[in-house]
């Protein structure tokens, strides 16, 4: 009986082992977390670079807006100070008038009439005017100056709040750009060198022509020569030289050498000159991409642009239609 049980147990164990082997042979052998194929990584990296550039260009836009806001705040504060001086001048005139009229009239020391706050001072004037017919012009002048001062004060405070909000937006856009770039670089780090090169060269990079061969003259020639001289430099978000650029930083600096001031923003540069059609492009024209606009390059002729492409490619020459074309302008 014991031997029968032993044989039965052994047979069951053999069946279990066979089933286990069969299952292991039929199970998929791919790893639980298979690496994505090269095309998937390429598309993902390109999308991350573009999203990072979009955030970076929004950051550039916000910086321009912040500079304008700060100038406005400075102007408002100066206006507020001038209005405060005018208010104090009227207050002083009123004090002098009250002191002269009532110093010997039994109303007490003149200091009792000098309320420390503007509204209290105005209430005192109203009471005195009712009692003794104080000149209406003095009361009216003070009331007008007080209202103007309060308006300037409110405007200044609102603009200060706008500045604080915009500074928070700047930090958010910077964080977005940095995180997208970090994610792209992490994806690239998983690849072999040859695979990374295949991805980074996909944007249509072309051999840079000799600047002397480009049919440009005047300021456009200066801008083209400068931009071509930067081919091979690094792409860094927010940079404008001398050894690294983002897309609008390169175009800004190139045309700056020709004496034409451009804002450090691709979308703002779109409004910096006369619009030209693609068929009318001339060397030096600014060419814009994507909707909303988030990239810009300089046309150099023969269907080519020079541009700060992305952190993987740096400044390079590419085909004018290597990205979704939006439009072009001619600066100056």
Q: What is the CATH number of the domain that holds 232?
A: 3.90.1720.10
Question: Is 312 within 8 Å of 199 (Cβ atoms)?
Answer: yes
Cis preceding linkage at 226, omega within 30: no
Q: Which of 274, 271, 329 is nearest to 299 (CA)?
A: 329
The confidence score (pLDDT) of residue 252 equals 98
**CA separation, residue 141 to residues 76, 89, 98, 146, 169 (Å):** 21, 10, 15, 9, 42
Domain annotation covers residue 273: yes
The confidence score (pLDDT) of residue 150 equals 78
Q: CA 135, CA 137: separation in Å to the nearest integer? A: 5
Last residue of a domain, one of 187, 219, 239: 187
In the block, which residue shows the tokens 């104090």? 88
The confidence score (pLDDT) of residue 285 equals 98
- pTM, two decimals, is 0.60
Q: Which of 278, 274, 250, 277 is nearest to 330 (CA)?
A: 274
Shared domain for 87 and 119, answered yes or no, is: yes
Shared domain for 43 and 183, answered yes or no, is: yes
The confidence score (pLDDT) of residue 25 equals 37
Shared domain for 47 and 99, answered yes or no, is: yes
Domain annotation covers residue 30: no
The confidence score (pLDDT) of residue 130 equals 46
Shared domain for 128 and 217, answered yes or no, is: no
Last residue of a domain, one of 187, 216, 241: 187
Domain annotation covers residue 9: no
Reading the block at residue 122, the tokens are 């105005």
**Vertex 149, ends 146 and 152: CA angle to 5°?**
155
Shared domain for 132 and 161, answered yes or no, is: yes
Domain annotation covers residue 151: yes
The confidence score (pLDDT) of residue 235 equals 93
Q: CA 20, CA 137: separation in Å to the nearest integer? A: 105
* Structural domain count, the chain: 2
Shared domain for 179 and 228, answered yes or no, is: no
50 is catalytic: no
Shared domain for 227 and 307, answered yes or no, is: yes
264 is catalytic: no
Owning domain of residue 59 = 39-187
Shared domain for 178 and 139, answered yes or no, is: yes
The confidence score (pLDDT) of residue 97 equals 66
Shared domain for 44 and 182, answered yes or no, is: yes
Sign of CA dihedral 14, 16, 19, 25: negative
Last residue of a domain, one of 158, 187, 216: 187
Helix pair 247-256, 38-102: axis angle to 10 deg: 70
Shared domain for 182 and 50, answered yes or no, is: yes
Helix pair 38-102, 118-132: axis angle to 10 deg: 30
Domain annotation covers residue 6: no
Shared domain for 182 and 240, answered yes or no, is: no
Q: Which residues of 130-145 are buried (b: 16+ CB within 10 A; e: fewer)?
A: eeeebeeebbebbeeb
**CA separation, residue 284 to residues 57, 243, 296 (Å):** 21, 21, 12
Domain annotation covers residue 114: yes
Domain annotation covers residue 7: no
Shared domain for 313 and 235, answered yes or no, is: yes
Domain annotation covers residue 82: yes
Cis preceding linkage at 242, omega within 30: yes
307 is catalytic: yes
The confidence score (pLDDT) of residue 23 equals 37
| pLDDT values of the chain reduced to their tens digit, one per residue, 332 residues | 444 444 434 443 443 434 343 433 344 444 444 555 677 777 777 788 888 888 888 888 888 887 887 787 787 777 777 767 776 776 677 667 666 655 545 444 444 545 556 666 666 655 555 444 455 565 666 667 677 777 777 877 887 788 788 778 878 887 887 888 788 778 777 766 666 565 555 555 678 888 888 989 999 999 999 999 999 999 998 899 999 999 999 999 999 999 999 999 999 999 989 999 999 999 999 999 999 999 999 999 999 999 999 888 899 999 999 999 999 999 97
């Amino acid at each position: 009986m014991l031997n029968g049980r032993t044989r039965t147990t052994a047979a069951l164990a053999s069946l279990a082992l066979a089933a286990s082997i069969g299952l292991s042979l039929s199970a998929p052998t791919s790893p639980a977390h298979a690496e994505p194929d090269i095309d998937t990584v390429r598309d993902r990296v390109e999308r991350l670079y573009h999203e990072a550039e979009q955030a970076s260009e929004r950051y550039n836009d916000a910086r321009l807006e912040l500079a304008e806001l700060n100038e406005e705040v400075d102007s408002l504060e100066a206006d507020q100070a001038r209005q405060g001086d005018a208010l104090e001048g009227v207050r002083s005139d009123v004090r002098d008038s009250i002191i002269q009229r009532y110093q010997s009239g039994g109303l007490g020391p003149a200091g009792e009439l000098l309320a420390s706050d503007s509204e209290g001072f105005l209430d005192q004037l109203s009471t005195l005017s009712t009692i003794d017919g104080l000149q209406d012009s003095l009361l009216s002048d003070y009331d007008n100056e007080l209202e103007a001062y309060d308006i300037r004060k409110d405007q200044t405070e609102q603009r200060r709040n706008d500045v604080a909000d915009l500074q928070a937006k700047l930090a958010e856009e910077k964080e977005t750009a940095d995180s997208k770039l970090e994610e792209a670089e992490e994806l690239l780090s998983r690849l072999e060198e040859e695979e990374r090169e295949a991805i980074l060269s996909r944007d249509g990079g072309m051999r840079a022509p000799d600047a002397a061969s480009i049919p440009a003259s005047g300021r456009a020639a200066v801008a083209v020569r400068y931009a071509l001289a930067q081919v091979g430099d690094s792409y860094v978000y927010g940079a404008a030289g001398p050894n690294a650029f983002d897309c609008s930083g390169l175009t800004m600096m190139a045309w700056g050498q020709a004496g034409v001031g451009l804002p450090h923003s691709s979308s703002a540069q779109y409004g910096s000159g006369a619009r030209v059609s693609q068929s009318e492009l001339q060397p030096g024209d600014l060419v814009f991409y994507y909707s909303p606009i988030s990239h810009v390059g300089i046309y150099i002729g023969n269907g080519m642009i020079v541009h700060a492409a992305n952190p993987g490619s740096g400044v390079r020459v590419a085909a004018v239609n290597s990205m979704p074309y939006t439009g072009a302008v001619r600066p100056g």
